[in-house]
Amino acid sequence: MDAASNVAFRQRRQVRSTTATAIRSSSVSNNNEEVEASKKSTSVSSNLVDSNNATLSDTGPWWTDARNRSVFGVLASSFLNLLGFTMVAGPLTPALGSHFGLEIGSLFGTLTSAYPLGMLMGVFIWPSLSDRVGRRPILAFSLFGSGIGLLAQSFVIQQGGSLSNFLLARALTGIFAGSSPVSKAYLADIGAKDGKLPRYLALKDASATMAFILGPAAGGLLFDIRRRMINAGKDLTKTELLQTSGSLSFVIATSAAASLLAAVLAGSLVQENSSDLKRARRKRQKKKEADEPSLDDTALEPEEELISCPLGRRLWAGVASVCTVSFLFNMGDSTFHAFYSAFLRNQGMSTRDLGLLFTSLACVSFGVSSTSSSAILRSLGPVLTCAVGLTLIGSGLFLLGLIASGILPTSFAISAIAAAIYFCGVPIYGPTIPTMLLRCVPPHRRGFVLGLDGSTNTLARILAPLIMGEVYRRYDAGMAFSVAGVSVILGATIALFRRYTTLNHKRETT
């Protein structure tokens, strides 16, 4: 037994020695055959790991790979959820205001503010919870809750409920609106290591833009078809109020069905690691959390500054700068979506035509998102790309302000051009904020930081319709759009200034 043990021991030493020599040789040799052999060995190992985790390899059709199915599930659920949202948010906002007898002002702005008021709680709770219990269950649950909330809104409209009841139902719907940051965190989990995160985020923005293409037209057409079926006129008179309520309720119920279908897709297609891998990952993350600095004013290493936090040499400073820029963008974006359709409705545009206009503008945005967004991000980097997108968005809003004030000719063509400029900037700006945020924090903090950014954005979406609605009432639409445009351009200025100070500090320390 001793001789056999010695032989076995010498064999194991020889195998380890041979393996170590091969590894050292492959790391320094440029021989193409050795490199190819290393790639084949890595591929075999990867397939073995995937087999242990019930994950298929990349060979064969795309749907046979679990990772591809998961990405598709995230994109499809995001699309359906936003499809239902855009069916109601764009073309139906003026009809909702008319239904409740609201004039444009701060009270009219509550129709837009109620939903993000609930989001202020939801987008902070669900992403953080997904860090602990997993992305898939939280994603599916939040989508399901959104669908139930939309059904409640439809019921209130159908039964002739009061404005306060409708706002309560809309706020409760917003509480479950945590799917967007959770889906971004999931895409970061699976795409950050191999450099596919910018591509995944661009695809997510493209799917969102596609929802913005189809949703407004679908909402406007469904509303118009329903009204014609019940022989309702174009004006919302008191005798037709019940009939109009049925049309609004029908469209909102359809959007609820889209959110419920999104929950089913997220729960069935999105996959996560096995329980053993989850436990191992949690142990590693706890160790990293104990070893790494938290989101305080601890400075980064010089080599990590430009990679980890593009807008700051410290973690907290970088995150705070990104959230400030995001807040200013959402001030302008909320103003546009809260009052642009109402402004056009006052110019005589019907609900159906509003939906078709928003669809046409979303087609412009989708073209930019699918053809240029990723290329611009790779070429300019996230900060300059963010500034370019915000400049276009702010310019479009400012032009709308000049049009609404009468400084520029008040024509549909010029208004559409200004809105098109706005929609060109949104997909350019879109991927930059999550890209910068996700570079600032370790994986186990991604859900928390995205939730923090979501809460900041939600606060802007609560305040903007109320503040700008009062500006609209006291002055005019031109003043509201102009102030919103200035706030967005201010965000671009802050991004460039913070980038300059970060680069300047880098040069001074080298």
Q: Is the pLDDT of residue 40 over 70?
A: no
Neighbours of 35 (CB within 10 A): 12
Annotate 129-189 with three-state secondary structure. HHHHHCHHHHHHHHHHHHHHHHHHHHHHHHCCCCHHHHHHHHHHHHHCCCHHHHHHHHHHH
Q: What percent of the chain has pLDDT over 70?
A: 71
Highest mean pLDDT among 187-191, 253-257, 300-304: 253-257
Highest mean pLDDT among 355-364, 390-399, 407-416, 501-510: 390-399
Neighbouring residues of 446: CB distance < 8 A, sequence distance ≥ 6: 131, 185, 188, 189, 438
The secondary structure of 251-285 as a DSSP string is HHHHHHHHHHHHHHHHHHH-----HHHHHHHHHHH
Q: Is the pLDDT of residue 153 over 60?
A: yes
Q: How confident is the model at residue 230 (pLDDT cuts 50, 70, 90)?
A: low
- Write down the pLDDT at residue 3: 47
Q: How confident is the model at residue 25 (pLDDT cuts 50, 70, 90)?
A: very low
Q: How confident is the model at residue 366 (pLDDT cuts 50, 70, 90)?
A: confident
Could you report the per-residue pLDDT of 60-73, keeping only the tens digit for each?
A: 565 667 777 888 88
Indicate the range of 204-208, 255-259, 371-375 predicted with least confidence. Answer: 204-208
Indicate the range of 27-31, 250-254, 274-278 predicted with least confidence. Answer: 27-31
Judged by DSSP in three states, 230 sits in coil
β partners of residue 299: 314
- Write down the pLDDT at residue 55: 39
The secondary structure of 56-82 as a DSSP string is --S-SSGGGSHHHHHHHHHHHHHHHHH
Q: Are 82 and 208 in contact (CB under 8 A)?
A: yes
Q: Is the pLDDT of residue 391 over 90?
A: yes
Q: Is the pLDDT of residue 267 over 80?
A: yes
Q: Is the pLDDT of residue 235 over 70?
A: no
| Mutual angle of helices 412-429 and 197-229, in 10-degree steps | 140
**Is this prediction's pTM over 0.75?**
no
Q: Is the pLDDT of residue 18 over 70?
A: no
β partners of residue 314: 299
Domains and CATH numbers, the chain: 67-270+295-509 (1.20.1250.20)
Average pLDDT, whole number, for the chain? 75
Run of H or E residues at 90 = none
Indicate the range of 79-83, 94-98, 136-140 predicted with least confidence. Answer: 94-98
Q: Are 83 and 261 in contact (CB under 8 A)?
A: no
Q: Are 415 and 341 in contact (CB under 8 A)?
A: no
Q: What percent of the chain has pLDDT over 90?
A: 17
